[in-house]
Structure 1
Amino acid sequence: MSSSTPARRVPIEPQSVDAPLTDSAIFLVLEVVDAPEAHAVVRSALASVSDVSKNVAFRDLRASLSCTVGIGSDVWDAVTGLPRPAELHPFQPIIGAHHTAVSTPGDILLHIRSDRRDLCFELERQLLDVFGDAVRVVDETVGFRYFDNRDLLGFVDGTANPVGLALPAATVVGDEDPDAAGGAYVVIQKYVHPLDAWQELTTEQQEAIIGRKKADDVELDDAVDGQKSHKTLSTIEDDEGEHDILRDNMPFGSPGSGEFGTYFIGYARRLWVVEKMLQRMFIGDPPGLHDRLLDFSTPLTGSVFFAPSADLLDALDD
Structure 2
Amino acid sequence: MIFKFGAPLTRSAIFLVLPLTDPASPSIVRSTLPNFSSLSKSVFFRDSSADFASTIGIGSSVWTSLNGLPSPKELHTFLIVMIYASKFERQLMKSLGSAVKLVDETVGFRYFDSRDLGFIDGTANPESVDGQASTLIAAEDDPNAAGGSYILVQKYLHDLTAWQALSAEKQEQIIGRTKFDNIELGDAEDDQQCSHKNLNTVEDANGEERDILRDNMTFGSLGSGEFGTYFIGYTGRLWVKEKMVERIFVGHPPGLHDRILDYSKPVTGAVFFAPSVDVLQGLAD
Q: Same fold (TM over 0.5)?
A: yes
| Contact 1:26/1:141 (<8 A) preserved | yes
Question: 2:22 & 2:71 partners in 1: Cα distance?
Answer: 19
Partner of 2:65: 78
Alignment match, 1:130: 95
Q: Which amino acid aligns with 1:299?
A: P
Aligned to 1:227: 193
Shift of 1:132: 0.2
The equivalent residue for 1:32 is: 20
Which residue is equivalent to 1:88?
75
**Shift of residue 303, structure 1, vs aligned partner:** 0.5
Aligned to 1:272: 239
Q: CA deviation at 1:240?
A: 4.4
Assess, with a 3 A threshold, how the Cα gap between structure 1 residues 110 and 42 changes in structure 2: closer, same or farther. Answer: same
Which of 42, 62, 82 aligns to 1:111? It is 82
| Secondary structure of the structure 1 residue equivalent to 2:126 | coil
State the identity %: 58
Taking a change above 3 Å as real, the CA distance of residues 311 and 161 of structure 1, as seen in their structure-2 partners, is: same
- Name which of structure 1's ranges 15-24 and 240-249 shifts more when overlaid on structure 2: 15-24
Q: Name the SS for the 1:185 alignment partner.
A: strand
The equivalent of 2:263 in structure 1 is 296
Matches within 5 A, 1:229-248: 229-238=195-204, 239-248=206-215
Match of 1:208 among 173, 181, 200: 173
Aligned counterpart in structure 2 of residue 249 of structure 1, from 210, 213, 216: 216
State the alpha-carbon separation in 2 of the partners of residues 242 and 304 from structure 1.
22
Larger-Rg structure: 1
CA deviation vs aligned residue, 1:21-59 (integer Å, no higher than 9, x gap) = 111101111001230x21110011111111111111112
Is 1:17–1:267's contact at 8 Å kept on the other side of the alignment? no
Unaligned runs of 5+ in 1: 1-13, 91-106, 115-119
SS at match of 2:39: helix
2:21 matches 1:21: no
Runs of 4 or more above 4 Å deviation:
none
- Please list the CA deviations of residues 211-240 of structure 1 after superposition, one character each: whole Å capped at 9, or x if unmatched: 000001110001022100000001101324
Deviations 1:265-297 (A, max 9, x none): 000000111110000000001110000011011
CA RMSD, Structure 1 to Structure 2 (Å): 1.2
With 195-204 and 254-263 compared, the bigger mean Cα shift is at 254-263
The structure 2 residue matched to 1:150, chosen from 115, 120, 123, is: 115
Counterpart residue identity of residue 234, structure 1: N
Structure 1 Cα separation of the partners of residues 266 and 53 of structure 2: 26
Query: Residue 163 of structure 2 aligns to a residue in which SS?
Result: helix
Distance 1:168 1:289 in 2: 33
CA separation in 2, counterparts of 1:65 and 1:20?
Answer: 11
Measured in 2, the distance between the counterparts of 1:242 and 1:222 equals: 15
Report whether the alignment pairs 1:162 with 2:99: no
Give the CA deviation at 1:315.
1.4
> What count of residue pairs does the alignment treat as equivalent?
281
Instruction: Compute the displacement of 1:164 (Å).
Output: 1.9
Answer whether contact 1:187 1:304 (CA < 8 A) is retained.
Answer: yes
Q: Is contact 2:2–2:53 with CA below 8 Å preserved after alignment? A: no
Residue by residue over 1:143-180, the C-alpha shift from the partner in whole angstroms, topping out at 9 and shown as x without a partner, is 011101111x1110100000121000000011210000
CA distance, structure 1, for counterparts of residue 154 and residue 8 of structure 2 = 20
Greater alpha carbon shift after TM alignment, 249-258 vs 198-207: 249-258
How far is the alpha carbon of 1:20 from its aligned partner?
3.8
1:173-184 equivalences in 2 (<5 Å): 173-175=137-139, 176-184=141-149
Amino acid at match of 1:50: S
Query: Which segments of 5 or more consecutive residues in structure 2 lack a partner in the other structure?
Result: none
Q: Contact between 1:15 and 1:183, CA under 8 Å: does it hold in 2?
A: no
